[in-house]
Structure 1
Amino acid sequence: MSEAIASRPLVSLALPESGAARLAAQAGLALTGSLLLALSAKTKVVLGPVDMSMQSLVIMLIAAGFGFRLGVATLLLYIAEGAMGLPVFQGTPEKGIGLAYMVGPTGGYLLGFVAMAAIVGAAADRGFDRNPLKMGAATVAASAVVLALGFAWLAVLIGADKAWQFGVAPFILPDLVKAALAACVTSAGWAALRGFGLGGR
């Protein structure tokens, strides 16, 4: 495989090269990704004002597979679905829906999820997803940004001390584990493809 293939995200291997077929495939992937995000949001563990879910792991895997543009587009579609009132977020409809929910305790994390997709997707576009250490650095950085944005918004709502206690501290270790898992899964996927002669160097 060429260097051009070796620096493209995983999904590029399956997409049509150009035209309406490529756009249709990308739209289908974005919609499918948004549905997976909604499902992952409902898998949760109650830890305080903000529950823990597997959603960040799914975001990192989607972004790594889709790359920057399609990964961010998928997150924006998911956010738009929630803003329109669809019960796609972690606490919807129990804790509200639409924009009213989005400005609640999870608001900073929702913004952070878009940033996470951008960071991990950009790393995948540069071929970092072939190397677990490089991808691990990207996923850890992305997780830190999510926590920082989540903390900043929670601090406005409930104060910095409680924001750290309930919105950051309980998630540090789980997020590190999920970041490491995402890096290992994506690099293992490319290693498997290389074994079949499909994934470049």
Structure 2
Amino acid sequence: MAVTLTTPNTLLGLYQPKGTVAKLASNIATVVLGTLLITLCAKINVPVWPVPVTMQGFAIAALAAAFGMRIGVATVALYLVEGALGLPVFATGGGLAYLVGPTGGFLLGFLVLAAVTGFAADRGASGKPLALFAAMLVGDALMFVLGFAWLALMAGQAGWIDQTNVLGSAFAKAVQPFIVWDILKMALAAVTVTGAWKLISKR
């Protein structure tokens, strides 16, 4: 467990090599490739302000469900580090300033989404569509809470927020429009992973 960082209940756990060095190399490669997938999904976006609609949430939920909590969180953490170092991995660029901008809370919330989804996957949810979908929704909801709290804290510096109704304005512009989108993304991620699990299990 300490070497593989995953469990037999995940898709990654089913295909781990036997050697210790090979397992470690496999885990590292998985994390790095995972950040590339998240980056690609970040570029699939509708550029609305202040928070663009992207496919990052789908990628993170699917990766965490397929790889488990520790690999999922490690992948998102490396992704955020890459962005903080200036690599253009986010929807519209990169850099430390991006992390403290309007989307900063949502980006950090991706860690929570990965943790909750991966936790459920490690305990056997990868083959249970409703259980996995429910876990993804919980993680996604917590991500929204963190993102909304972040926006509320920086509301005084945001010109797009109605200063006479800070909480209502932040919710209406940066949370409410994305709820349905995220439910659909979580559903797609759950169906994708559980479908892959069933296909692989039959083989």
TM-score, normalised to structure 2, is 0.88
Aligned to 2:49: 48
Aligned to 1:151: 148
Q: How does 1:81-120 map to 2 (within 5 A)?
A: 81-92=82-93, 97-120=94-117
How far does the alpha carbon of each residue in 1:13-70 deviate from its partner, in whole angstroms, 9 at most, with x for none?
A: 1111341111111111110000111111111113321101011000011101110111
Asked if structure 2 preserves the Cα contact closer than 8 Å seen for 1:85 and 1:98, the reply is yes
TM-superposed deviation, 1:110: 0.8
TM-score, normalised to structure 1, is 0.89
Provide the C-alpha distance between the structure 2 equivalents of 1:17 and 1:121, rounded to a whole number of angstroms.
22
Matched length:
188
Provide the C-alpha distance between the structure 1 equivalents of 2:27 and 2:201, rounded to a whole number of angstroms.
24
1:80 aligns with 2:81: yes
Provide the C-alpha distance between the structure 2 equivalents of 1:26 and 1:127, rounded to a whole number of angstroms.
20
Q: How does 1:123-162 map to 2 (within 5 A)?
A: 123-158=120-155, 159-162=166-169
1:179 aligns with 2:186: yes
Provide the C-alpha distance between the structure 2 equivalents of 1:144 and 1:37, rounded to a whole number of angstroms.
19
Asked if structure 1 preserves the Cα contact closer than 8 Å seen for 2:9 and 2:121, the reply is yes
Stretch moving more, 15-24 or 53-62? 15-24
Provide the C-alpha distance between the structure 1 equivalents of 2:15 and 2:126, rounded to a whole number of angstroms.
17
RCO higher in structure (CA 8 A, sep ≥6): 1
TM-superposed deviation, 1:195: 2.1
4+ long deviations beyond 6 Å:
none
Structure 2 unpaired stretches of 5+:
1-6, 156-165
Secondary structure in structure 2 of the residue aligned to 1:57 = helix
Provide the C-alpha distance between the structure 2 equivalents of 1:18 and 1:109, rounded to a whole number of angstroms.
38
How far does the alpha carbon of each residue in 1:80-110 deviate from its partner, in whole angstroms, 9 at most, with x for none?
A: 1111111111121xxxx32111000011001
Asked if structure 1 preserves the Cα contact closer than 8 Å seen for 2:9 and 2:126, the reply is no
Secondary structure in structure 1 of the residue aligned to 2:27 = helix
Provide the C-alpha distance between the structure 2 equivalents of 1:157 and 1:18, rounded to a whole number of angstroms.
49
Alpha carbon RMSD of aligned pairs, Å?
A: 1.5
Give the percent of matched residue pairs that are identical in Structure 1 and Structure 2: 44
Aligned to 1:17: 18
Structure 1 unpaired stretches of 5+:
1-5, 197-201
Aligned match for 1:190, one of 174, 177, 197: 197
